[in-house]
Structure 1
Amino acid sequence: MTTDEQERDLRHRKVRDAMAETGLDLLLAFGPGWRRENVRYLSDARVTGSAAFVALPATGEASAYSTRRQDVAEIAGRGWVTDAHFLDPAEPGEFRTRLGDSRARRIGIAHYELLPSMLLDLVREALPAAEIVSATALLDQARLVKSEWELARMRRSAKVCAAGWQAFVDVLEPGLPEYRVVAAVEAEIKRLGAEDNFMLIASGKDEVRGMTPPSDRRLEDGDMVRTELTPQMDGYWLQICRSAVVGTASDAQKRSFDLFNEAVDAGMAVVKPGVTAHEVAVAQNDVFRRHGYGEYCTSQYTRVRGHGHGLHMDETPIIEGNHTVLPENSVFIIHPNTYTPIAGYHVLGDPVRVTADGCEVLVETERKLFQTNEVNA
């Protein structure tokens, strides 16, 4: 079994190898308030400040900085980066000095595109002669292949996905407001230790065209209730996409499920090491095209046909035109979620791991159109 220390060393070595290939003396993993995955990847610490950095030099010890004092103890206590400091934007002298002491000549900043100008100016002041480039793609690529240590955490997330979906189905009944469904899910997954949850929901019949946060709309008999349920466990997000019918499914709802299930199967059938996100998306979209629903694969009706999973909930997009290679042990969800006129917006999808000869489905929940008259019988 891989220890935490071995996992840390693996990650730092992987990133440093990529730094050497691109000529970086120093990598700054920047974590704004809503994109902290790179800071967590290098520190395994759950930070909550508005801005944080992990500074990884080509040689020597890493250091970390956060604008929230409580994060400093969290980072140091985790043990992956013990040299942790408070970054006071009003008095940033220590941050500037320590960066300057690195004497880095070429700096890569992951999430450079999200870095506020004030913080970028501090880096420039600390190392005025250094070249600064984006290292966002470098860390995206490093995080793409999951270690066994990471996969163990993601499998725990998968069990919480299944439990959350079961809680979703168990409460469905006519008259229940959408927010009560979400409350039941939140209670169950938090009981199981989820750090966070991203969840969308929609209910209705064939007029539903998308998914939103929960409203006070009350469920009616015959409604199809859809969700993307994405709990975070130990830092790792995993998603399940399912639809359920309040009562008994109509013929149209069953035909809709068959179409979407065929598309999920088609996406999974092409998965193998070296497949591209584009190819997985095309395989799904071709099912819709073959059945005469190709227009509903466009951006007018849908965003992606899936996306990567890991320390960020929405990584590599599975979309036509994205030729990112999906190597063995990458993890992503295949979900052809979109509107069609058959029965409205439909949600269906499973997270998978790329294996040596195909894919492993990470959730145990049956892929079917759930009907409450069956579940509650």
Structure 2
Amino acid sequence: MIKKERLARLAEELKNRGLDALYIGPSADLEYIGEFRSFPDERVRGLMVGSDGRCFALTPLLYREEMMDAFGDLPFYSMWDDHEGFAGAFKRGCEHLGVSGGKVAFNDGVRAVDLFAMLEAVDIQPANGQDLLANMRSRKDGEELDRLRRAGAIIDGVVEKLYTFIKPGMKERDVIRAIPDFIEELGGEGESFAPIVASGPNGSMPHYGGDRRVIEEHDSVILDLGCRYKSYCSDTTRTFFVGEPTREMREVYEIVRRAQAAGEAAVKPGVTAEEVDRAARRVIVDAGYGKYFFNRVGHGVGIAVHETPFIIEGNKKPLEPGNVFSVEPGIYIPGKFGVRIENLVAVKPDGTAEALNKTTREMRIIK
């Protein structure tokens, strides 16, 4: 159902920015406002919210039942059939809200080709609405935090299962294929993103996308995975070692472990996002491995697995209670191995940080 309190806050934000409406295409924004999970394609659908709080749903007949189940008793569903296209229905909806000739923002769930068709159908002034819901979504309420905690506990359980599941001789894809079953067994609702299983030299690529390498003795294995629970995501990374790690592996692992702990320790309300990045990064730089850590320290997590706040140099926005984000420093040595440790962290009103992942950050060796 439409979250009326969130709808009212969005309408107020539209007024503050001098906007007449926001059109929300299939996206995390739409799931946040209307609990409707969908992805952009040629059957254009979405929700337009006016600055007066009224709204209409642009609804292909193919999705009529799902959208009406999600949005409930909206006063106006502007429906369209495949043979007619969506432009006329979009125009009818704009006329219903009285925004023709006005300034309408569009979020990132709208394809460029569809936006052009909308602008041809209706005389409106378009605006970038990508960040209109970002601040609202970044401040989680109690219910959202509970869902994130549960998602974190589920994926922690999956990590524990993987620790006993992984054996030398397996392919990376064998591990990847086991993850969805473990998530379902523990009460999750599917993966929040395609998991990364990066063994040996593949671990030097932070977002490695392969799966064919055979896991060998003395490999490091980076596991980056997450699940969904009642629309909310988890995201965690642990690095295991198969057989006895080398001295260099042990040294690098300890540096990353200390960097991750330093990043978490820096989290509290009022601290800027870049200060958290600096706290974690400083440990790695001071140890002489700075050139092997070349990405931001973290990103927000909620309905989307990547959202605000971004924990990166240059982000001077102070952290607020309800912010949830990853702290995931790593060291990636080309041709050799990589190490990453990641927890999600929630900023609490009492000035403390709550780690939403509880699996140990100490070195773990698969024997």
Same fold (TM over 0.5): yes
What is the SS of the residue equivalent to 1:137? Answer: coil
Determine whether 1:322 maps to 2:315.
yes
> Aligned match of 1:176 in 164, 170, 181?
170
What is the SS of the residue equivalent to 1:196? Answer: coil
Change in CA separation of 1:367 and 1:81 when aligned onto 2, cut-off 3 Å:
farther
Cα distance, 1:297 vs structure 2: 3.0
- TM-score between the two structures when normalised by the length of structure 1: 0.86
Identity of aligned residues (%): 24
CA deviation digits over 1:95-133, x for unaligned, max 9? Answer: 211212322222121228x5323333324522x1x3321
Structure 2 equivalent of residue 165 of structure 1: 159
Change in CA separation of 1:99 and 1:123 when aligned onto 2, cut-off 3 Å:
farther
2-structure distance, mates of 1:109, 1:209 = 34
Cα distance, 1:233 vs structure 2: 2.0
1-structure distance, mates of 2:53, 2:139 = 25
- Kindly tell me the number of residue pairs found equivalent between the two proteins: 356
> Aligned match of 1:148 in 136, 142, 156?
142
1-structure distance, mates of 2:321, 2:9 = 16
Q: CA RMSD in A?
A: 2.4
1-structure distance, mates of 2:366, 2:292 = 28
> Aligned match of 2:98 in 99, 103, 108?
103
Change in CA separation of 1:193 and 1:150 when aligned onto 2, cut-off 3 Å:
same
Runs ≥4 in structure 1, deviation > 6 angstroms? none
2-structure distance, mates of 1:81, 1:288 = 54
Structure 2 equivalent of residue 44 of structure 1: 35
Deviates more, 1:348-357 or 1:74-83: 74-83
2-structure distance, mates of 1:297, 1:196 = 27
2-structure distance, mates of 1:98, 1:58 = 15
Cα distance, 1:287 vs structure 2: 1.0
Change in CA separation of 1:344 and 1:81 when aligned onto 2, cut-off 3 Å:
farther
In the TM superposition, what are the counterparts of 1:96-245 in structure 2 within 5 Å?
96-104=91-99, 105-111=102-108, 115-126=111-122, 128=123, 130-191=124-185, 192-198=187-193, 199-204=195-200, 208-245=204-241
Change in CA separation of 1:160 and 1:84 when aligned onto 2, cut-off 3 Å:
farther
Structure 1 equivalent of residue 17 of structure 2: 22
**Amino acid corresponding to residue 31 of structure 2 in structure 1:** R
- TM-score between the two structures when normalised by the length of structure 2: 0.89
1-structure distance, mates of 2:134, 2:61 = 25
**Amino acid corresponding to residue 330 of structure 1 in structure 2:** N
2-structure distance, mates of 1:115, 1:206 = 34
- Maintained 8 Å contact 1:110/1:139: no
Deviates more, 1:344-353 or 1:149-158: 149-158
1-structure distance, mates of 2:21, 2:233 = 28
For structure 2, list consecutive stretches of 5 or more residues without a partner in the other structure.
none
